C-alpha cells in the first residue's frame, strides 16, 4: 500500500488545468478535494504506549520461561490392530510395519509422543 500526504493530493487536484468543455470543472475539483478531506488517515494510530523497565521485562521473561518449562508433553500409545490408533485423539495412521521405520514416534494429528 502506498501512503500519500492528504495535502499533497489536494494540491495536485487543485493544480490541474481547467477543462473548457462547456461545463464548470471548479465544482468537480472542490468535490474531489472535499472527499479527500473526509477520508480517514492512513497513518497507524497508537492507542497507548507501554513502557517497561528492564527489570519488568526480565520478570515477565522469567514468568513465561517458567510456564513453558512446567508444561509436560503428552504421552500416549498406538492402540488397535494393523492401523495404529492414537490413544489420546483416536487418529488412525501408523501401520505396524511402518512403526519400526518411523524416526519420530509422534501422532501426526495431535503431537502426542506415542509408545509402541
Instruction: Give domain limits for the chain.
Output: 6-38, 75-115
Strands (E) in 1-116, as ranges, are 75-79, 83-86, 92-95, 113-115
Query: Residue 104 pLDDT > 60, yes or no?
Result: no
Tell me which residue has cell 471548479: 26
Label residue 10 exposed, middle or buried (CB < 10 Å: 0-12, 13-18, 19+): middle
Q: What is the pLDDT of residues 7-56, one digit of tens each?
A: 888 888 888 776 666 555 566 778 888 888 888 777 666 666 778 889 99
Collapsing DSSP states into helix, strand and coil, what is residue 13? helix
What's this model's pTM, rounded to 2 decimal places? 0.34
Amino acid at each position: 500500500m502506498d501512503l500519500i500526504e492528504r495535502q499533497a493530493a489536494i494540491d495536485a487536484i487543485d493544480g490541474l488545468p481547467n477543462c473548457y468543455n462547456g461545463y464548470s470543472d471548479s465544482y468537480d475539483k472542490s468535490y474531489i478535494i472535499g472527499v479527500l478531506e473526509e477520508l480517514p488517515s492512513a497513518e497507524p494510530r497508537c492507542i497507548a504506549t507501554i513502557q517497561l523497565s528492564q527489570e519488568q521485562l526480565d520478570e515477565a521473561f522469567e514468568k513465561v520461561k517458567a510456564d513453558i518449562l512446567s508444561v509436560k508433553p503428552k504421552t500416549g500409545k498406538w492402540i488397535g490392530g494393523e492401523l495404529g490408533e492414537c490413544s489420546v485423539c483416536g487418529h488412525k495412521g501408523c501401520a505396524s510395519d511402518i512403526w519400526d521405520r518411523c524416526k519420530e514416534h509422534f501422532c501426526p494429528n495431535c503431537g502426542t509422543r506415542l509408545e509402541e
